Amino acid sequence: MKPTRAGAQFIFITMFLDALGIGILIPVFPDVIRRFGTDASFVSHMFGYFIAAYALMQFLASPILGALSDRYGRRPVLLLSLFCAGLDYLVMAFAPNLWILFLGRIVSGLTGASMTVASSYMADISDDSNRSANFGLIGAAFGLGFIVGPALGGLLGGWGPTAPFLLAAVMNLLNFAFGLVVLPESLPPESRRNVDVKRLNPFKSVIKILSPSPIMMLVWVYLFVYLAGHVHSSIWTLYTQAKFGWSTFEVGLSLSVVGILSAISQGYLTRLLIPKWGEVKVLEFGLVVYVLSFFLYAIATQGWMIYPIMLGTFIAGVGGPALQSLISKDVPSREQGELQGSLISIASLTAIIAPLLYTDLFARFSGPNAIWDFPGMPYLLASLICAVSFGLFMAAPLRRGDPR
C-alpha cells in the first residue's frame, strides 16, 4: 500500500468516526439531558449550550493542534486526539450528573479539533489534480458517518443512555490502534516549522485570515456558509419533533438519509462536476441551491416534505470542497496547517454562535408563548445568510485561471 493511499484511507476512517460519534448523539442527546431535567425550556437551552461548548473548545484548540502538527508532524497529533476521544466517550457514558457530562462534552471539543490536522494531512498529499477530490473524500466520510451514526443512535438509545457513548469510545480506540500500525507521516522534517506562540491565539488567527488578502473574500464566504449550515445541528431534532411530531427513530432515519446524500454528493458528484464545470461555477451553483433549500425547510408543512427538500441540499453539497480547494490553492504546503487550523477555527466560531442564535429563534417563534408561531424562522435566517454569501462570492477576486 502506497503511503499516500494508506494515509488517505486512515483520514477517511478518522473523519467517519468523528461524524459517527456526532451522529450517534444527535437523536438521543435531548433524552440524555432529560435525565437531569424535563422542562422543555431547560432541555432546549441546555441542548444549545452543549453544542456551543463543544464548538468553543474546537475553536480554542484548532490553531494549537494545527501549529503542533506543523512542528512535530501530523501523525502524532492525530493519534493522540483519537486516544483522548476514546477515553472521553467513556467518561460521558458514566457521567453521574449534568456537570460531568458537560465537562466530557468540553473534552470532546478539544479532541474533535483533530479535523484541522486531518485536513492538513490531505493538503500534504494532494496536488492540483486531486485536491478537490481529496477534500471531497473528507466530506464523503462525514456523510457516511451520518448514515450510520443517527441510525445507531436511535437503536442504541433503546438500550439505555450509555450505549451510544460506549460504542463511540470503542471505535475511536480501535482506530487509534489501527493508526499506530498503518498511518505514515505526511509532512517531511524539512517542511516543518517551529511553533510560534503568537499563532496559537485562535482570535488572532481568525482576525488574520479575515483581514485583507487574496483569499479574504473567499474566507468570508466560508464563514457565512458554515454559519448557515449549522442550523441543522442546532435545531434539527427539536424542530422536527416539535413541528412534525417525529420520534427519535424518525429523527435518526432522516439524518441517515442526509448522510447518504452527502456521501454521494461529496464522494461522487464532486469528482464529476468540478472537472467538468470548474470550482467557481460549482460553488456558485451550490450557493444558489442552498438559499432555496433552507427557505423550503422553513416553510415545509408536512414531515414528508423534508425528504424531497434534502435533494437540494444533496446537490448543493458539491460547493463545500470547491470552496475549500479555492482557498487552499495559493497557500504553500508549510503553511497549510495554519490555514486549515484557521478555517476550522472559523467553522468552530460559527458553531458557537449558531446554536445560541438558532435555538433562541426557535424558542421565540414556537410554543405557546411564541412571538409568532413560525418555528421555521431559523431556516429562513439560514437562507438569508446563504444569499449574503453568494453576493460576497460574486464580488470576490478570483484566482488566475479560474474565470467565471
Condensed to tens digits (0 to 9), the pLDDT of residues 186-199 reads 777 877 777 667 66
Condensed to tens digits (0 to 9), the pLDDT of residues 60-102 reads 887 788 888 888 888 888 888 888 888 888 888 888 888 888 8
399 DSSP 8-state letter: P
Which pLDDT score is estimated for 4?
Answer: 62
pTM of the shown model? 0.74
Strand, helix or coil for residue 397 = coil
Specify whether the CB–CB gap between 97 and 36 falls below 8 A.
Answer: yes
CA distance 137 to 40: 39
Residue position matching grid coordinates 470550482: 279
Q: CATH 3.40.50.620: does it fit domain 3-182+199-395?
A: no
CA distance 328 to 116: 13
Listed residue (95, 250, 259) closest to 165, CA to CA: 95
User: How many Cβ atoms from other residues are within 10 Å of residue 35's Cβ?
Assistant: 12
DSSP string, 214-260: TTHHHHHHHHHHHHHHTHHHHHHHHHHHHHH---HHHHHHHHHHHHH
Which pLDDT score is estimated for 24?
Answer: 83
User: Residue 398 to residues 20, 42, 132, 338: CA-CA distances in angstroms?
Assistant: 36, 46, 17, 22
Which pLDDT score is estimated for 2?
Answer: 46
Which pLDDT score is estimated for 398?
Answer: 62
Strand, helix or coil for residue 196 = coil
User: Residue 392 to residues 148, 225, 273, 383: CA-CA distances in angstroms?
Assistant: 35, 11, 22, 14
Which pLDDT score is estimated for 199?
Answer: 65
351 DSSP 8-state letter: H
CA distance 177 to 383: 42
Low-confidence ranges of the chain (pLDDT < 70): 1-5, 40, 113, 158, 195-196, 198-200, 267, 330, 333-334, 337, 398-404
> Would you kindly state where each structural domain of the chain is located, as residue ranges?
3-182+199-395
Which pLDDT score is estimated for 153?
Answer: 82
